[in-house]
Copies of this chain bind each other. A is one copy, B any other.
Amino acid sequence: MSLAQDRYPELQQYRKSIDNIDAALVFLLAERFKITKEVGYYKREHNLPPGDPEREERQIARLRELAASAGLDPEFSGKFLQFITREVIRHHEQIRGDG
């Protein structure tokens, strides 16, 4: 039981919304990594390079636009994509390692 619970009911309400959004983010991320793993297997099968710089540039530009329209810092959307992509690369390296 933290300091927030009783004395700051508004804070408690904010936190419930944050927790709901975090659950949604986790489930979406799980789904995204399921797809990028499929992409990893597909690329291995077709002997495609793990990265595609053109695709990545388009993704960053698109996310910046979406971020701006949503009121999210466009810089942050770029950092976010990089953060996710590092994990995707780690998965793809595992997939290549699997032979």
Chain B residues in 8 Å Cβ range of A48: 3, 8, 11
Which A positions have Cβ atoms within 8 angstroms of B? Answer: 2-4, 8, 10-11, 14-15, 17-19, 21-36, 38-39, 42-43, 46, 48, 52, 54-55, 58-59, 62-63, 66-67, 70-73, 76-77, 80-81, 83, 87
Shortest CB–CB separation between residue A86 and chain B, in angstroms? 9
Chain B residues in 8 Å Cβ range of A71: 30, 34
Chain B residues in 8 Å Cβ range of A46: 8
Shortest CB–CB separation between residue A21 and chain B, in angstroms? 5
- Distance of A19 Cα from B29 Cα, bound (Å): 12
Shortest CB–CB separation between residue A42 and chain B, in angstroms? 6
